[in-house]
Amino acid sequence: MHLRYTYRVYPTAPQRVALARTFGCVRTVFNDAVAARRRAHAEGLPFPSTAELDKRLITEAKRTPERMWLAGVSTVPLQQALRDCHSAYRNFFDSLKRKRVGARVGPPRFKRRSHRQAARYTRNGFSLRSNGRLFVAKVGELKVAWSRELPSAPSSVTVVKTPTGKYYASFVVVVDADTDLLEPLPDAASETGIDLGLKSFAVLRGGKAIESPKFFRKMERKLKKAQREFCRKEKGSANRAKARIKVARAHEDIRNRRDDFLHKQVKMIVAENQGIFVEDLNVKGLARGRGAKSVHDAALGRFLTLLESKAVRTGRTFVKVDRCFPSTQLCSACSSLTGPKGLEGLKVREWACGCGAVHDRDGNAELNIRREGRRLARDHTVAAGQAETVNACGQDVRPGVPGGSGSPRKGQKQEPTRTLTAHAAS
């Protein structure tokens, strides 16, 4: 299993100059590779291979007056830039051919100087010294703020400069699959469904609600002010560069607060529950409708990704219930579809069923998700440390209940429910 560990680094003034030179060369080689492939496509020629681009854009370019300054940096990050360009085009074509799972991927674009800058080094381009410093080829020994030890020797490191001017070193290490396994918990007392939303970020077992922090909404006024100041500065001036950094710092502050919140919630949920059942939300679809800004602010997709990764690594059972499952409309007492429906139903927070049961909207949805996830986990348990894809769309949610995972809406594509199960070693 590959994991990434990121640490803050503090380069000296000469090292910052060397890193700026490296970032510029990496950006130039990547942009030249994109331009070469665009030119080949416009002329109807086959795309040049990575080896051909390596020879043309690095080896031969160093001998020309226009690109002779490429010799002043290490060759390793320049070669990795070409491989990144090749991977970007491969993902683009796989996406066009429907070979790549997930959202459609566009073609690679030119890199900009004001955005995030990065240079990746393989093992022959860096080393960890005994004094705790990170040696990078043709840059020197960088001071690293080690917040924790690396579990194993890193296979690569990426030196990153953020738009705010901060430097980070991101290491890729290989660890055993059972390194982070937790002790198993009693299933009867440690299972929870998770109903995600905007009013409350998440509702867990027993009606426990996690309030939505709304980081972007709280800092939106500050961000607007910084953006207005940036727009009023003259292009190319030093004041405009300072204003740009101010805007970037506001975005960075929002992102850091959100990431800290998400990681803490994921750690809490995984530590307290052996079984975790969530709804497979169409986050991209929600982000295009009403309340799109709030959906982006909540970062529901990133939360589900972090939760799934952490649950599998620590030996918890993680189940995604099909998005067609009517968790809100289904009465948890009599299994009838009498709950709120449509856009008008979003305003309904409590509702009464014909059987006499009165439900809290989110608490009822959590209970239904937990029951359905438990059923899927019971029916599709897999071997330790493995993952299995199961299809719940062809099965009824409850006997005699229409509109469940076995009854997708008209014109809606059926999507599988994934069950990821990992058991701790006894």
Q: Return the active site residues.
A: 195, 279, 362
* Both structure tokens of 188: 């009867």
Phi-psi region of 230 (alpha: psi -120 to 50; beta: other; left: phi over 0): alpha
Question: CA 349, CA 125: separation in Å to the nearest integer?
Answer: 58
Question: CA 126, CA 121: separation in Å to the nearest integer?
Answer: 6
Angle, helix 75-96 to helix 13-42, in steps of 10 degrees: 40
* Both structure tokens of 345: 């139903």
Question: CA 227, CA 158: separation in Å to the nearest integer?
Answer: 30
Helices (H), 43-150: 50-54, 75-96
Q: Are strands 191-196 and 275-279 parallel, antiparallel or unpaired?
A: parallel
State the residue for tokens 């982006």: 296
- E-strand ranges in 123-215 read 126-128, 134-136, 140-145, 156-161, 167-174, 191-196, 200-203, 209-211
